[in-house]
Structure 1
Amino acid sequence: MTNPSPDIGPSTSVATRAPTRAGVLRAAEKMAQLLPQTPLLPLELPNGGTVWCKAECLQPVGAFKIRGAWHRLSDLTDDERSRGVIAVSSGNHAQGVAWAARRLGIAARIVMPNDAPQVKLAATRELGADVVLYDRPGGEDRDAVAATLVAQSGATLVHAFGDPWVIEGQGSAGIELAAQMECFADGGPTRVVTPCGGGGLAAGLALALPDAEIVPVEPDGWDDVARSLVSGAIQRVPRDAPPTACDALQTPATFPINFAVLSARGLRGLSVTEAEVRAAQRYAFSKLRLVVEPGGAAGLAALLAGKVAADGRTAVLLSGGNVDPAAFAQVIAHHG
């Protein structure tokens, strides 16, 4: 069992503990002992300039979510492990939690939307987790479903983004990124462009990289984090939000724990269109030979569309690659 440091141990409540850079560094140490670093790949942009791509789509579960899940679950007490964990996810966090739970011998139940990509549902079940479906199109509240399960079982809730351990774990990608760029780009990142759903990854990167500009990118109509940062208060996605292929970024609202980190850094977000996301998926496949899911390509979409500049030490997270094969084949076979 991993022994947590005394000031941020497993007995500390999620409700009272704030994520810290020290926690990010501890999570990075855990990841260094667990898995190889994901590659950092240079990519020439069509309008000139180079961006450095952190290929989190090549993680064992196909997404960065393995980081936060491992940091959270490996810090549970023996009693907490015996009662299991519950998570809510459209698929990537689900697989991260299921992977960590199987490795640590912890029972996991995952609340997932009934319209999640089949590849994500199947992979989560294959990892041994019990999947509980909820009706996202029908407006069912996934957090309410999870809360009921927690109350019934006494299991620990491992939230996809609103958890200090999860935020710190996601931030470990930034620690790796900085070290890799020191080697290959003659200095750490000046700007990091990242897909953003609930803000767990963006908040983790903000803690990990205090000297870099962090740019959260969301799908058009689902840009609640960007609107929250402008208004100074948490905003929700409207009920009539447009459909998006970026299932991994369909969160109804960020949490105070994430918003506090993001707003303290003065971040500003932006959004991308569905066509821009598809173009980014095609570009990553053509130039990097990588399969990147729609949500995982949002940051690259912003760069390709010229919505954010690359200065030679700009990096982008390719955060996930879990996409249904037929859907991906259709994207790369067509333009527009």
Structure 2
Amino acid sequence: MNFILHNMALNYICESMKTYNSWFFEYYECPNELTQIIDKILVSNPQAEVTNKIIKGIGSYIPGIGTHYFYLYENFKKQSAFYVYFEKYKTDTTKYKLSVFKTKKDKKALEQALTAIFKSSDDTINIINTCTSMGRPFNYVLNVKYNKPYPNQQIVVDHIINQYEKDKNSVIMLSGEPGCGKSSTAYVLKKEMEKRITKGVIPRLFSNIDLATPNLDIGPSVLQTANPHTPVILVLNEFDIVMAIATMKNSNRFENCVHIKNKTSLNNTLDLLNIAGNFICIITTNKSISELKSNPNYETFLRKNRIDTFFEVNKETAITKTHDDY
């Protein structure tokens, strides 16, 4: 393992966490390489009080600290996995509560871990960011404020949940002016799914995925994390820009961007999103659907079986549109 990679990723997170209350890592067991503090937690109660110094220090010892989910499947599937969850104390923001959950041998512990990490509260919601360090993707959770939903968001959410319950997949596009709640519709969706879908379902919300991130592959880092207990909600913002990048001619700037380096790669990505199980994708744009549909370069991206439904939204309402309406 490249410990420089782990420390870079961990230090990046520590800097980011100055404005957030909690986040998590997932890593894998390698014999004789776990720190004493992790060992102690695992054989007693799965919690301890730690400081920033401890958090940065364990990055040199925990295998996989910077490559969460990248090794979750394939060759590493049979290894024991752990969730490491840090939560900032409200009374002393220099200290964190560290919780460690072993996931493979104890199904109940895994469910408790997922609930603790992903379930939203009345006024906050946990979202997942995916970043890269040294060309490898890693995921971490950020705890953000949840605001009262706009009327338009409930219309969209009801449609998505109905489609998800039927097909276990939904890919929709929201069009509207900035500030009308397109991106935060996913927050409302996560909360509603926790209430209305089968008991125990805790969606994972990936809300800040940038397809222009070099070497980021949402297959292993996002889609393969979906399952019936923790379905995935993915938000792709400003998709008009994404389509513009994918249709650029003679540009090497995005050659290392897996999903948008050319038109074919974006088409393949949209096909992948439409066949993924336990998966919802909310695509947003500030442009009108009619304007995007009239661009011949974007025709294949917006056709049937790649986008299910369109919504033209403002803060008060959402108008549902099908492909036949354009």
TM-score range, shorter chain: under 0.3
- TM-score normalized with structure 2 length: 0.27
- TM-score normalized with structure 1 length: 0.27
Larger Rg: 2
Structure with the bigger percentage of helix: 1
Higher relative contact order (CA 8 A, sep 6+): 1
Structure with the bigger percentage of strand: 2
